Chain A
Amino acid sequence: MSEILSFYLNGNPVEVLVKPEQTLLELLRDELGLTSPKCGCNHGDCGACTVILDGKAVKSCLVLAPTVKGKKVVTADGLCSGEKLHPIQQAFLDYGAPQCGYCTPGMVMAATAFLLENPKPTKEEIKEALSGNLCRCAGYEKYTEAVLAVSKGEFGLLPEGSDFNV
């Protein structure tokens, strides 16, 4: 049976009707109309649906929606405030990392969660951290360079104490 689910989405409380078999990805896209998490495979292989759940990057197609009750979900469009992009987003933009862009929101979330955990990574560690996110246009090198630049402070300090940094 459907039930009412309460959680925090990009800092705001949300109440929505959820079916027991619905995934978080379906809930965000189909019920809440929030399409920044993309559906590339629906099997947790491509990473296009990556969101940050209580500070950790998760593939939202593998998370059953009812399990996010009371938790904090952040998506790529929730990272920027108004016109101001998050440092990761600015770096991806400046490095020309997105091509078709379909993997980009997932890459943004995977990279953001990773830098919260490991603020001074090596290039190898960045590659490992992004290895669950496929980019068919093969923009891996630029994504990696951009994350490295952010970790060196080239795009300013990462926002702290925000909703995803719990």
Chain B
Amino acid sequence: MFKSVGKRVKKYDGEGLVTGRMTYVSDLTMPNMLICKTLRSPYHRAKLNKVDVSEALKVPGVYAIITKDDVPHNYFSMVPDHHVLAEELIRYKGQNIAAVAAISKEVALEAISKIKLDIEELPFVIDPVEACKPGAPKVRPEGNLHLFDGTSEVRKIRKGDVEKGFAEADYIVEGTYTTPSQEHAPLETSASLAYLDEAGKLVIHSKTQGLYFTQGDLANVYQLPLNKLKFVGGTIGGGFGGMNSIHTDHLAGLLTLKTGRPVKFHLTREEEMLYSTIRSPWIFKFKDGIKKDGTITARKVDILHDCGAYTELGLYAVEKNANMIAGAVKVENLEVNSRMVYTNKMPSGSMRGFGVNVGQFADQVQVDKLAHAVGMKPIEVRLKNSFKENDENHVGNPLVAVSSIETLKMVAEMAGEELAPEYANMSSK
């Protein structure tokens, strides 16, 4: 009856994978290709006074060394506040300061060792709670807390009246949940190969997960029209969200524009682990009111997202999180307060459901606590407070094709959990 459902479907590029004949970006090479290596900040936070590349340029085989002054527009990423090469205030350990293009990895590394930095280490802040305090070292000159719409430190969601909801509750249940940072660790580390084609167009073979997004972003950095910048995607050895951020494309392209030669930039495992974007840490504080019959009367959630040194995709994560954090339970009285703080760490990137699954972890553990408080089965509290067809979600969107009750009942059945008739007979309709 079905051609594919329930059957094994052969991966269209499977032969290339099992024979190793598939070409990944890190496998690419070209005649006359130069190798890029970068000098990174040894400090979490520092004042960079001067970069002296004169001795490094004398190393035989070095074709170019670039610093911030060589970048046409030194800002990139979704919220374009990330410096391609460091400016005066260094914001995280491993931030790129200078990039070298040389005939080999060895020559590039030798040149890196001869770049002289006039740099002063400054006090830094790693902990997101410490970073919120007055007097904390400033990650950004404009302060550590992000201002939403340029005015508010808090991104708010308001529905009903939480104080009234708490007053109606028989129990108040509080909980604090934290999630750590997490590196994507793709088996193939970030890699780019850039070259100029016969027509003078800059071509970049990229590991990016967002080809056109990266193209637009870097056209701005290079100050090139889009018809002078071509991106080539392909098979990538894992992304997991990490390749939504630019790690190598920007510098490979800049060095190709500077030298006219193909340039490959391939991160080492250490660079990928220590300096690329990550799933950044979160702190969630819940306060819920619940009646003895299991009705949740109010929910207040205070959220702090540790964004790292630059915005990257942190703001996007905060927005997604704020919209989802109240969870799959219907609450009439809701208050959500999201804050995003900058710290001297690698920036917050996208990673597999970023912003959402971290919040759902906190929400689901909290709902179990609620069930414990009122002496109900955890699944019954979820059923009792479940959304139904045509309900409005927490931010006022109507819900259609709702099936959460049916899904929960199936979960109960699979887990061998007996439901009381009042729950077993529920429906989302």
Whether the pair B187, A89 counts as a contact (CB closer than 8 A) is: no
B238 within 8 A of A: yes
Give me 17 A-to-B residue pairs in the complex whose CB atoms sit less than 8 angstroms apart, sorted by A's number: A37-B20, A38-B24, A42-B268, A75-B20, A93-B10, A96-B10, A96-B11, A98-B11, A101-B16, A101-B22, A101-B235, A102-B24, A102-B188, A105-B18, A108-B20, A136-B238, A136-B240
Whether the pair A98, B18 counts as a contact (CB closer than 8 A) is: yes
CB distance from A18 to the nearest CB of B (A): 15
Chain A residue at minimal CB-CB distance from B14: A93
A96 to B19, CA, bound (A): 14
CB distance from B235 to the nearest CB of A (A): 7
A71 within 8 A of B: no
Chain B interfacial residues counted at CB < 8 A: 33
Whether the pair A103, B20 counts as a contact (CB closer than 8 A) is: no
Chain B interface (Cβ < 8 Å from any Cβ of A): 8-11, 13-24, 26-27, 29, 184-189, 235-240, 268-269
Chain B residue at minimal CB-CB distance from A92: B18
A134 within 8 A of B: yes
Whether the pair A102, B269 counts as a contact (CB closer than 8 A) is: no
A92 to B152, CA, bound (A): 54
User: 14 new A-B pairs (CB below 8 Å) besides A93-B10, A100-B237?
Assistant: A38-B26, A38-B188, A48-B187, A76-B19, A76-B20, A89-B18, A90-B18, A95-B8, A101-B17, A104-B17, A105-B19, A108-B20, A134-B187, A136-B186
Chain B residues, Cβ within 8 Å of A41:
269
A42 to B15, CA, bound (A): 25
Whether the pair A40, B24 counts as a contact (CB closer than 8 A) is: no
A108 to B238, CA, bound (A): 18
Chain A residues, Cβ within 8 Å of B11:
93, 96, 98
Our count of residue pairs bridging A and B at CB distance below 8 angstroms stands at 104
Chain B residues, Cβ within 8 Å of A120:
none
Whether the pair A104, B20 counts as a contact (CB closer than 8 A) is: yes
A57 within 8 A of B: no
Chain B residue at minimal CB-CB distance from A37: B20
Give the contact-size bracket for chain A: 35 or more
A75 to B189, CA, bound (A): 21
CB contacts under 8 Å to B, within A68-98, are 75-77, 79-80, 85, 89-90, 92-96, 98
A157 within 8 A of B: no
A10 to B11, CA, bound (A): 26
Known: A46-B187, A85-B18. A96 touches B235 (CB 8 A): no
Whether the pair B18, A104 counts as a contact (CB closer than 8 A) is: yes
**Interface 1/0 per residue, A36-53 and B, CB below 8 Å:** 111111110010100000
CB distance from B26 to the nearest CB of A (A): 7
Chain A residues, Cβ within 8 Å of B236:
100
A29 to B26, CA, bound (A): 10
A30, A90, A104, most chain B CB atoms within 10 A: A104
Chain A interface (Cβ < 8 Å from any Cβ of B): 29-30, 33, 35-43, 46, 48, 75-77, 79-80, 85, 89-90, 92-96, 98, 100-105, 108, 134-137
A96 to B23, CA, bound (A): 19
A9 to B13, CA, bound (A): 25
A92 to B13, CA, bound (A): 13
Chain B residue at minimal CB-CB distance from A21: B106
Whether the pair B29, A33 counts as a contact (CB closer than 8 A) is: yes
Chain B residue at minimal CB-CB distance from A105: B20
A95 to B14, CA, bound (A): 10
Chain A residues, Cβ within 8 Å of B29:
30, 33
Known: A42-B269, A46-B187, A98-B11. A137 touches B18 (CB 8 A): no
Within 8 Å by CB of A98, from B17, B189, B240, lies B17
CB distance from B23 to the nearest CB of A (A): 7
Whether the pair A108, B187 counts as a contact (CB closer than 8 A) is: no
A116 to B26, CA, bound (A): 31
A35 to B21, CA, bound (A): 7
Within 8 Å by CB of A102, from B9, B187, B240, lies B187
A136 to B237, CA, bound (A): 9
